[in-house]
Amino acid sequence: MDTKEQITKESFSQVITTLLDCFDQDIINENPALFQYLTDRNGVVLDDVSNIELLLVYPVKELIKSAMKIKFGETATSMACSVVVNWQFYDQHLNKIIDQFEGYGCVCDKSTYLLRMFVKSQAKDFEPNFSKDREHYWEPKFGTIEDWMNFIASLFDLYHGYPKKYLLAYTALLQAGSLAYPGKNQS
Proportion of the chain above pLDDT 90, given as a percent? 40
Phi, psi of 7 (to 5 degrees): -90, 115
Domain residue spans of the chain: 77-180
- Report field, pTM of the whole predicted structure over 0.85: no
Q: Supply the pLDDT for residue 5.
A: 60
**Rounded average pLDDT over 140-155:** 95
Long-range contacts, 158-167 (Cβ 8 Å, 24+): 159/82, 159/86, 159/89
CA angle 175, 126, 120 (to 5 degrees): 80
**Element of type H or E holding 125:** none
Say how far apart CA 59 and CA 57 lie, in whole Å. 6
pLDDT digits (tens, 9 = 90+) for 29-73: 787 777 777 777 655 666 777 777 787 788 888 888 888 888 877
